Amino acid sequence: MDDLSAAAKAYLLRILPSLGGVLTDLAARDQQLFELRLTRQFGNLYDGLEPLYGQRDDFEVFLGRLVTALAERYRDRPEALKTLDLTRELSPDWFQREGMIGYVAYAERFAGTLAGVGERLDYLKDLGVTYLHLMSVLRTREGENDGGYAVSDYLAVQPALGTMDDLEQLCTALRGSGVSLCLDLVLNHCADTHAWAEAAKEGDARYRDFFYTYTDRALPDRFEGTLPEVFPDFAPGNFTFVPEMGRWVWTTFNAYQWDLNYTNPEVFLEVANILLTLANRGVEVFRLDAVAFMWKRLGTDSQNQLEVHMLLQALRACSKIVAPAVVHKAEAIVSPAELVHYFGLGRHFGKVSNLAYHNSLMVQFWGALASRDTRLMTHVLRGFPPTPPGTAWATYMRCHDDIGWAVTDEDAAAVGLGGAAHRSFLSDYYAGLFPGSHAVGEVFQYNPATNDRRISGTFASLAGLEQAQRHGDSYGTEMSVERILLGFALMLGFGGVPLLYMGDELGLLNDYSFADDPDTRDDNRWLHRPYMDWTVAAERFREGTLPARLFAGVKHLIEVRRATPQLHTGYQLEVLDVHPQLLAYVRPHPLGRLLAVYNFSEQTQGLSVHALGAHAFREATDRLTGQQVVPRDGLLELAPYARLWLV
Ligand code: GLC
């Protein structure tokens, strides 16, 4: 308790006695463990919440209720999970290890039901997966639901997938096979059909206060002055008039997704309870959705506000007290400068989330691929500070969302590019409009006001495979395969937790059937949310086929990664500025550094080893081929789209 501030300590001392009643049935050692964890984390909880709610008369009562809820969830936590907690506390880097391999899928599109997912475990194990993010698992509203991100009940499973008990069983089965289940916790908003929203519509004051509602447009109009639009195309504006209430409701995303009001501590309490209840079912990783938007401030874009980091720190402390096995992943698709705050900087250092999406790496991958030029990528990646201990990037090249060209004007200018022109080029390129483009993709959310255009399409289609196959172009097919494997090599070799997106390992192409369904036709992100094609998956065993080649290529990368300790995320990375078509970085490690080099062009490139400065070498082993690499006349030759992991 010594490192608690005097104020925090005083609160804790007043709260502790009231917990006896909740924990009495637990063994003395279990009670002690809870108190130790609570004491250890109370400062982080208090520091997160006090600035937000400390001015309220009922702050102490609120804190007491929160801690009681934590004690209750701890009391309910199954023994097997309590053991997992201890295991993870003994090896807190479990999710940072080189053997960590994530896979991301829509549960229904992957395997029909939750039980079906369990039956596909062999496929995941074959690939080497240790972390499975299933989407659209919790119950959503009927009809349109933003691909699962409009949740109507956080403690129920989509009826078509199964029940909560099925979820628990799946978690147990996965855990038994060394796979951690990740679920979305959509905590910025809920569906307009959630019980909270229904109660608000009926005039219940408690629940109306769960949302931001306005009787007229005065405040909404003032907010709109500085708010961007996330879905300008199918959901323009940030407020929706709800006739049942006669009020405007804050809806950042779709009209049916109501933003939750975190200035109300009751919302925090509910969400913490939900998270821990799901954790007690066996969910190990929470993908905290759209967190950047959780706090609003007039005169700003209402994203990345300081209060968001406080809320996330407090939520993280709740997990560490009740379910320390649990890991939090922040989904904040924001600019590089804002992104690093989701690990926690300054007084939040390392306390906000364990994982955050490296959106920049993904954007820069596609950017460098289109321009055959790595200078912007190198510049941007060199600008990232090291990640705090106990945190890691989630690396990915595709996901269920569109690609937005998050390139700042400043970064573009630093390498002699115009920001707007470059972003426009990238959209043209991936929409297949730019002469010579290999990509087949579609524009998502064209915003005429900003000329912003995002892109939809699968990894394979954006990398050129769809076009090459259409034209029976064998050279194009070859190059596409190389581009895809380049992306996987970067994702797996960067030194983050890699997240493979379902179907990419088999080269699944765009799925145009979304246009036939009224619930999906307006949202072309469904282009890259195909159903798993198990016939194609079976082809991975037929040598010579494309799926076999891709699957084997990805699997090989995974196997090498697992045996490359330099890829433990705990070691930092230094990006080198050595060549305009190559990306190069070093990961220093006590067992010898790893030098990774990637060729982003379809030409052979030569790298002068002298350019590597202190990292120059005479001989190295490429982990990916097992071959000795000896530069000739000081020049290292890289084949088109080559990737080298040199030790
Ligand atoms: C996240 C999801 C995206 C969704 C949005 C709103 O960005 O990834 O699919 O539309 O949040 O929930």
Three-class SS string for 323-390? CCCCEEEECCCCCHHHHHHHHCCHHHCCCCCCEEECHHHHHHHHHHHHHCCCHHHHHHHHCCCCCCCC
User: Which ranges of the chain have pLDDT less than 70?
Assistant: none
* pLDDT score recorded for residue 248: 98
Region class of 178: left (phi > 0), else alpha (psi between -120 and 50), else beta: left
- Is 331 a catalytic site residue? yes
Active-site position among 85, 184, 289, 505? 289
Q: Determine the Cα–Cα distance for residues 261 and 647; give it in Å rounded to an integer.
A: 51
Per this entry, what is the length of the chain? 647
Output the CA 130–ligand 1 centroid distance in Å. 24
DSSP conformation class of 622: B
Q: Determine the Cα–Cα distance for residues 47 and 505; give it in Å rounded to an integer.
A: 43
- φ and ψ of 451, to 5 deg: 65, 20
The domains of the chain, with CATH numbers, are: 569-646 (2.60.40.1180)
DSSP H or E segment with residue 119? helix 114-119
Specify whether the CB–CB gap between 183 and 138 falls below 8 A: yes
Q: Extract the tokens encoding 455.
A: 């892109």
Q: Determine the Cα–Cα distance for residues 336 and 385; give it in Å rounded to an integer.
A: 10
Q: Determine the Cα–Cα distance for residues 107 and 114; give it in Å rounded to an integer.
A: 7
DSSP string, 561-615: HHT-GGGSTTS--EEE---TTEEEEEE--TT--EEEEEE-SSS-EEEEGGGGGGG
Show Cβ contacts of residue 467 under 8 Å, excluding neighbours closer than 6 positions.
Answer: 432, 438, 439, 440, 461, 473, 476
* pLDDT score recorded for residue 416: 98
- φ and ψ of 54, to 5 deg: -60, -20
For residue 449, the tally of other CB atoms under 10 A from its CB is 8
Q: Which atom of ligand 1 is nearest to the CA of 525?
A: 9
Q: Extract the tokens encoding 109.
A: 């599109």
- Is 266 a catalytic site residue? no
Nearest residue to 8 (alpha-carbon basis) of 60, 52, 66, 55 = 60
Nearest residue to 46 (alpha-carbon basis) of 351, 489, 266 = 351
The pick from 149, 154, 251, 499 for probing ligand 1's pocket by mutation, whose C-beta has the most ligand atoms within 8 angstroms, reads 149
DSSP conformation class of 297: -
Q: Determine the Cα–Cα distance for residues 282 and 279; give it in Å rounded to an integer.
A: 5
Specify whether the CB–CB gap between 94 and 130 falls below 8 A: no
* pLDDT score recorded for residue 20: 81
For residue 563, the tally of other CB atoms under 10 A from its CB is 11
Output the CA 455–ligand 1 centroid distance in Å. 15
Active-site position among 47, 146, 331, 511? 331
* pLDDT score recorded for residue 537: 98
The pick from 401, 514, 522 for probing ligand 1's pocket by mutation, whose C-beta has the most ligand atoms within 8 angstroms, reads 401
* Distance spanning both ends of the chain, measured CA to CA: 46
Using CB distances shorter than 6 Å, the residues near ligand 1 are: 146-147, 149, 186, 253, 289-290, 331, 400-401
Specify whether the CB–CB gap between 340 and 348 falls below 8 A: no
* pLDDT score recorded for residue 18: 87
Nearest CA to ligand 1 atom 3: 401
Q: Extract the tokens encoding 359.
A: 């959106």
Q: Is the pTM of this model over 0.75?
A: yes
Output the CA 557–ligand 1 centroid distance in Å. 29
Show Cβ contacts of residue 143 under 8 Å, excluding neighbours closer than 6 positions.
Answer: 519
Angle at 530 between CA 524 and CA 534, to 5 degrees: 170
Specify whether the CB–CB gap between 322 and 74 falls below 8 A: yes
Nearest residue to 185 (alpha-carbon basis) of 110, 284, 251 = 284
Q: Which amino acid is at 279?
A: A
Residue 240 pairs with which residues in a beta bridge?
249
Output the CA 452–ligand 1 centroid distance in Å. 18
Nearest CA to ligand 1 atom 7: 290
Nearest CA to ligand 1 atom 11: 290
For residue 172, the tally of other CB atoms under 10 A from its CB is 17
Specify whether the CB–CB gap between 281 and 168 falls below 8 A: yes
Residue 403's alpha-carbon distances to 76, 330, 410, 450, 529, in angstroms, are 41, 17, 20, 16, 14
Specify whether the CB–CB gap between 17 and 25 falls below 8 A: no
Q: Determine the Cα–Cα distance for residues 489 and 494; give it in Å rounded to an integer.
A: 8
Q: Which atom of ligand 1 is nearest to the CA of 231?
A: 10
